[in-house]
Amino acid sequence: MSQSFDIAVVGATGLVGEALLMALDEREFPVGKLFALAAGDVAGQVAAFRERNLRVQAVDGFDFAAVALVFILEPLAPAQLARIEAAGCALVDLSGALPAERAPCVVAEVNPQQVGTARWLRSPLPAVVALASVLATLRQVLRLKRVTVTACLAVSGRGREGIEELARQTAQLLNARPLEPQLFDRQIAFNLLARSSAEQADGHARDERRLAGELGEVLGEPMLPVAATCVQAPVFFGDSLAVSLLCEEPVDLPVVLHCLDDAPELERVEQGDYPTAVGDALGQDLVYVGRVRPGLLDPCELNLWIASDNVRKGSALNAVRLGELLLKPPL
Amino acid sequence: MSQSFDIAVVGATGLVGEALLMALDEREFPVGKLFALAAGDVAGQVAAFRERNLRVQAVDGFDFAAVALVFILEPLAPAQLARIEAAGCALVDLSGALPAERAPCVVAEVNPQQVGTARWLRSPLPAVVALASVLATLRQVLRLKRVTVTACLAVSGRGREGIEELARQTAQLLNARPLEPQLFDRQIAFNLLARSSAEQADGHARDERRLAGELGEVLGEPMLPVAATCVQAPVFFGDSLAVSLLCEEPVDLPVVLHCLDDAPELERVEQGDYPTAVGDALGQDLVYVGRVRPGLLDPCELNLWIASDNVRKGSALNAVRLGELLLKPPL
């Protein structure tokens, strides 16, 4: 692409915003002018891009006709979305607030063909980016019948506030000071919370419904049963997923391992070892897979462990790659 | 029981040993004389029982003919076990080292009938005590076809050393000092380790195989497929289990909730709320259950979350209750 594009990033000063600006630079995305936007009071806020400081502008007054592509990292009101649409911008949504019918959900290495003529795309939950990458690879050698996943999510999924709260609570406990939960509804330090988002009337949490729905959409298997529990873990960065798959046929382990080794987006950690969020995934563009093992009694069962950087790999990198797909000149 | 029994506890000074001595006292177990034993150098070691300090004696020189019942909290050599057998003692093993063929595995509230004429019993992994209590209850109203569990285990499962290491690593990280893993093979603070015990040649960790085997044995369903991942979590006390069940028929949620509410050993946390290891289970004799919800697509699927104190409920309390079953006078 020799052409360059003017771009707006809504929510540029958050954790994902920072990582997104870094990924745009690293991947030499053909950015002409970059506008860093945020909701609310932006006075004095600054975002760094290509070693320059950009003044953050308010979303409210921004004229979207000035840009070709908008990244949405925080939920926007319908009126704002209407302004972006009226301006004819391409859009990548990471806020999770855009309804499914407004834009397809895409993981760049899994279902890029879904982009088609779409001008707006949704980037899924970071855990879905990791899980879909692994399952799409495995689908080359096995047929999935059921997916059960316990997704232990990092507090950075709740932005800087999540990180600050885990650090603050941990220090309070180690120093025997009174614990004061603020962002999370109870003690997250040295504890696991049985959900990472609000629960809906049917008992499923919002993230769990989103994980199952987005995974089915990205894999093109909306009727695949997905049992998901999204746990909030006392981990700063990196999602860890314990996955159990039921397949239509007995699993051939050497074939599965070979298939995982061949996938350029995955890093399989050898049997006997295992990857972790902190030790392996942090800051990486790869999804880490390990502990690959068939069932103890059921040869059609396959279990594995996934670790992936939720901010970089699961959010910023996929968003930039979706932007590349949207701006690719037609053949 | 008006009779009293002399008792030996091997491993009396560990975390579980302390909790066991406390539970013996609280439940007014008919202890005559209590011998606190430990392997290795016991010079100067003391265990507290009924507000008295007991000198710890070496296992090696101990004459087991002096006691009626032995609790084994740390692995013993076959020669030691032979001495206990020769002395005609009843035995409760919590070490996990006693082979399955030597003694049935029992959870007091689930399969007490398995005690029969056995003189030796195995108390299972703490996570199995919790999981079997819940599944045995649910089996009153549904037929299990498959169990998938991610068991996030507390570091106290590794004894005092586990607790000291998590605290030390956390302090090192918060103070920006170099991290020095010792007991665990890598950073456990602010991280999740994909297994809690050594991996075997087939890729399953020892604890995972033990969990699946003991669960099947306690439930009397050795052929029930159990997919288990045992994760080492940065939590001091309390195991947290994310469980997904497949049942033979569609799940009737109100019936399931009612059944859980009726179980005296369980505490169901109301829908919309959820239990945690630290906030609910710690120091309690109940197993906490919450987030009970059928599948999103599959009505035969049932998901739930369990929190239980691994040291007290999962180890000490079950061991004492097994001791009670062993010493109960014949009808």
Q: Which residues is A245 bridged to in the sheet? A: A147, A302
Which pLDDT tens digit goes with each residue over B84-99? 999 999 999 999 999 9
How many domains are there within chain A? 2
> Do B293 and A223 lie within an 8 Å CB cutoff?
no
DSSP string of A221-287, one letter each residue: -TTS-EEEEEEE-S-SS-EEEEEEEEESS---HHHHHHHHHH-TTEEEPPTT----IIIIITT-SSE
The answer to whether A163 faces chain B, any CB pair under 8 Å, is no
Which pLDDT tens digit goes with each residue over B276-302? 999 999 999 999 999 999 999 999 999
User: Are A13 and A107 contained in the same domain?
Assistant: yes
Structure tokens at B281: 């289970």
User: Are A144 and A249 contained in the same domain?
Assistant: yes
Per-window interface: A 257-316 vs B, CB < 8 A: 271-272, 274-279, 290-298, 301, 303, 305, 307
Structural domain contains residue A166: no
Q: Is A304 exposed, middle or buried (0-12, 13-18, 19+ CB in 10 A)?
A: buried
Sheet containing strand A90-93, strands side by side: A57-58, A31-38, A5-10, A69-72, A90-93, A120-122
Which pLDDT tens digit goes with each residue over A280-327? 999 999 999 999 999 999 999 999 999 999 999 999 999 999 999 999
Q: What is the pTM of this model?
A: 0.96
Distances (CA, A) of B47 to A34, B21, B34, B44: 68, 9, 10, 10
Q: Are B322 and B296 in contact (CB under 8 A)?
A: no
- Separation between Cα atoms, residue B93 and residue B74, nearest integer Å: 9
User: Are B82 and B150 contained in the same domain?
Assistant: no
**What pLDDT score was predicted for residue A330?**
60
Chain A residues with CB-CB distance to B277 below 8 A: 191-192
User: Are A90 and A141 contained in the same domain?
Assistant: no
Which pLDDT tens digit goes with each residue over B183-234? 999 999 999 999 999 999 899 999 999 999 999 999 999 999 999 999 999 9
Structural domain contains residue A29: yes
Q: Which range marks the domain in which residue B85 is found?
A: 5-123+316-327
A170, A225, A275 ranked by CB distance to B170: nearest: A170
Distances (CA, A) of A225 to A47, A127, A302, B71, B300: 42, 17, 15, 45, 11
Structure tokens at B326: 């062993």
**Closest chain A C-alpha to B87 CA, distance in angstroms:** 38
**What pLDDT score was predicted for residue A1?**
47
User: Are A42 and A143 contained in the same domain?
Assistant: no
Structural domain contains residue A321: yes
User: Are B277 and B216 contained in the same domain?
Assistant: yes
Tokens 């954790």, located at residue: A15
**Closest chain A C-alpha to B159 CA, distance in angstroms:** 16
> Do B194 and A274 lie within an 8 Å CB cutoff?
yes
* Nearest in space to A98 (alpha carbons), one of A113, A85, A108: A85
A191, A226, A276 ranked by CB distance to B194: nearest: A276
* Nearest in space to A233 (alpha carbons), one of A166, A287, A314, A316: A166
User: Are A101 and A138 contained in the same domain?
Assistant: no
Structural domain contains residue A62: yes
- CA-nearest residue to A223 within chain B is B297
For range B223-250, the mean pLDDT: 98
Return the H-helix or E-strand segment holding B98.
none
Q: What CATH number is associated with residue B110?
A: 3.40.50.720
Which pLDDT tens digit goes with each residue over B117-176? 999 999 999 999 999 999 999 999 999 999 999 999 999 999 999 999 999 999 999 999
User: Are A73 and A133 contained in the same domain?
Assistant: no
Q: How many residues does chain B have?
A: 331
A202, A229, A305 ranked by CB distance to B242: nearest: A229
User: Are B48 and B141 contained in the same domain?
Assistant: no
Percent of chain B with pLDDT over 90: 93
Chain B residues with CB-CB distance to A236 below 8 A: 190
Average pLDDT along chain A? 96
- Separation between Cα atoms, residue A94 and residue A96, nearest integer Å: 6
User: Are B148 and B283 contained in the same domain?
Assistant: yes
Per-window interface: A 79-138 vs B, CB < 8 A: none
Q: What is the Rg, in whole angstroms, of the alpha carbon atoms belonging to chain A?
A: 20
User: Are B119 and B255 contained in the same domain?
Assistant: no
Q: What CATH number is associated with residue A202?
A: 3.30.360.10
Structural domain contains residue B172: no
Structural domain contains residue B222: yes
Q: Are B89 and B67 in contact (CB under 8 A)?
A: yes
**What pLDDT score was predicted for residue B106?**
98
> Do B148 and A148 lie within an 8 Å CB cutoff?
yes
Structural domain contains residue A180: no
User: Are B242 and B320 contained in the same domain?
Assistant: no
Structural domain contains residue A197: yes
